[in-house]
């Protein structure tokens, strides 16, 4: 008999989430759905070039990489604004059905730039490269979603419609809905003769890359609304971002075949390799993994990138939950190609002084896209061990 976790029924009703699509997984069930999220956040109008073709895309990348631009004390802000609205967010909730189901802990995973929620759920050899697959096998529920501008979620204006502070509030609203059970109208559901509450007992927030920027800001800003964090592919250090946007080899998304307007850029395949893949190509990843990583890429709104300073690096003195940082050994964008020694737990403690457990691990022979490397499952297990050690 299949036993559902409390979170497993968060989205079983189409009354609360449109177009629910149920799919099976070897170790659980997944539900794809759309949910309306009302969010509001401070934003800005930035001094950015109008990106409307490949030439202006290169202009944007070069301008963003100049030392004088990076040194601007105003971060290129021309005007402060407020961004608000109700946004369609596409998501997937997966719940385990096996005997190793954990106590009712829900993971909420936020992807980074250039990808959508599929980053967490590889369709290529999922038993080796899908964090969702691994989570279900380990007994964890997991909610993944497409951030604004990516996948099947809303595609707002690239300059003032998709900014990091707004992404932060969207994550908060998703978390609140999951926490209080309002993703479905009923307080509980009956399955197999048992009443099952819709509220998770604990929520762990997981991020990758730009999603980790959003997730660390969430942990710092709302420390009482999380039970733990897993931060992958991100840590502030002296090499962070030094390779610049020029290393992306980006095209204008509109001329690259994407249904996107002005201000959306997308990596060429060479840029995907530079940013997301690393280590010895004979052992770290395969041609098939690189091909797959390129096939699921997504455009990025440049306003989101310009607005990163809104939330990046916030101190988190109030966070008492455990946090794990997982750095790929050969992350080019985050660590200049070598993450060994760029930071340590004592440095991280300056940001998270009260965290109940703070761990930094290096995933060997791996680049920025951790799941798309040959030893991905070993990295997954590091996080599951950390969660289990902390009662999650």
Q: CA-to-CA distance for 188 and 302, rounded, in angstroms?
A: 42
How many domains does the chain divide into?
1
Residue 167's Cβ-count burial label (10 Å; 0-12, 13-18, 19+) is buried
With respect to residue 14, please indicate whether it lies within any of the assigned structural domains: yes
Determine the pLDDT at residue 191: 32
Measured over all CA atoms, what is the biggest interatomic distance in the chain, rounded to whole angstroms?
Answer: 66
pLDDT, tens digit (0-9, with 9 covering 90-100), for 312-349: 999 999 999 999 999 999 999 999 999 999 999 999 99
The CA–CA distances, whole Å, from 63 to 8, 79, 249, 283, 314 equal 47, 19, 14, 36, 26
Determine the pLDDT at residue 29: 82
With respect to residue 307, please indicate whether it lies within any of the assigned structural domains: yes
With respect to residue 368, please indicate whether it lies within any of the assigned structural domains: yes
With respect to residue 354, please indicate whether it lies within any of the assigned structural domains: yes
Question: Which strands sit side by side in the sheet containing 250-252, from one edge to the other?
Answer: 250-252, 264-267, 300-301
Instruction: With beta carbons less than 8 A apart as the criterion, state whether 187 and 181 touch.
Output: yes
Q: CA-to-CA distance for 251 and 89, rounded, in angstroms?
A: 26
This prediction's pTM: 0.91
Q: Residue 25's domain spans which residues? A: 6-49+68-241+299-389
**Element (H or E) spanning 266, and its range?**
strand 264-267
User: pLDDT 10s digit of each residue in the chain, 392 long?
Assistant: 222 233 333 333 333 444 455 566 788 888 888 999 999 999 999 999 999 999 999 999 999 999 998 888 888 999 999 999 999 999 998 888 777 666 688 999 999 999 999 999 999 999 999 999 999 999 998 999 999 999 999 999 999 999 999 999 999 999 999 988 776 444 333 333 333 345 788 999 999 999 999 999 999 999 999 999 999 999 988 888 888 899 999 999 999 999 999 999 999 999 999 999 999 999 999 999 999 999 999 999 999 999 998 999 999 999 999 999 999 999 999 999 999 999 999 999 999 999 999 999 999 999 999 999 999 999 999 999 999 999 99
The CA–CA distances, whole Å, from 135 to 1, 13, 287 equal 20, 24, 26
Backbone angles phi, psi at 300, to 5 degrees: -125, 135
Instruction: With beta carbons less than 8 A apart as the criterion, state whether 82 and 43 touch.
Output: yes
With respect to residue 249, please indicate whether it lies within any of the assigned structural domains: no
Token pair 């932060």 is found at: 168
Q: Which residues of 305-337 are buried (b: 16+ CB within 10 A; e: fewer)?
A: bbbbebbbeeebeebebbbbbbbbbbbbbbbbe
With respect to residue 367, please indicate whether it lies within any of the assigned structural domains: yes
With respect to residue 150, please indicate whether it lies within any of the assigned structural domains: yes
Q: In this structure, what CATH number is given to the domain that contains residue 96?
A: 3.40.50.1820
């Amino acid at each position: 008999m299949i036993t559902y976790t409390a979170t497993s029924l968060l989205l079983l009703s189409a009354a609360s989430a449109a177009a629910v699509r149920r799919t099976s997984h070897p170790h659980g069930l997944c539900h794809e759905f759309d949910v309306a999220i009302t969010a509001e956040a401070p934003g800005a109008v930035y001094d950015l070039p109008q990106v409307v073709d490949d030439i202006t895309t290169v202009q944007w990348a070069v301008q963003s990489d100049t030392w004088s631009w990076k040194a601007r004390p105003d971060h290129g802000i021309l005007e402060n604004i407020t961004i608000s609205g109700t946004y369609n967010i596409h998501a997937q909730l997966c719940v385990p059905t096996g005997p190793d189901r954990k106590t009712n802990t829900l993971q909420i995973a936020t992807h980074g730039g250039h990808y959508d929620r599929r980053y967490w759920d590889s369709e290529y050899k999922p038993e080796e490269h899908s964090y969702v697959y691994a989570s279900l096998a380990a007994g964890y529920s997991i909610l993944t979603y497409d951030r604004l501008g990516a996948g099947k979620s809303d595609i707002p204006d690239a300059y003032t419609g998709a900014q990091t502070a707004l992404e932060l509030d969207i994550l908060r609203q998703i978390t609140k809905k999951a926490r209080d059970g309002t993703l479905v109208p009923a307080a509980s559901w009956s399955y197999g003769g048992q009443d099952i509450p819709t509220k998770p007992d604990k929520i762990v927030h997981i991020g990758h890359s730009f999603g980790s920027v959003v997730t660390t800001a969430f942990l710092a800003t709302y420390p009482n609304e999380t039970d733990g964090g897993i931060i992958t592919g991100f840590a502030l250090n002296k090499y962070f971002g030094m390779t610049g946007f020029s290393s992306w080899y980006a095209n204008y998304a509109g001329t690259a075949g994407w249904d996107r307007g002005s201000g959306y850029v997308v990596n060429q395949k060479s840029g995907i390799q530079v940013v997301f893949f690393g280590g010895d190509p004979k052992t770290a990843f395969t041609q098939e993994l690189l091909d797959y990583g390129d096939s699921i890429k997504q455009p990025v709104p440049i306003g989101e990138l310009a607005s990163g300073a809104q939330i990046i690096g916030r101190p988190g003195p109030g966070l008492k939950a455990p946090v794990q940082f997982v750095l790929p050994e050969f992350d080019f964008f985050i660590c200049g190609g070598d993450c060994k020694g760029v930071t340590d737990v004592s440095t991280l403690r300056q940001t998270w002084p009260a965290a109940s457990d703070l761990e930094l691990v290096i995933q060997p022979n791996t680049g920025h896209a951790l799941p798309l490397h040959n030893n991905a499952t070993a990295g997954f297990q590091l996080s599951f061990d950390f969660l289990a050690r902390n009662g999650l």
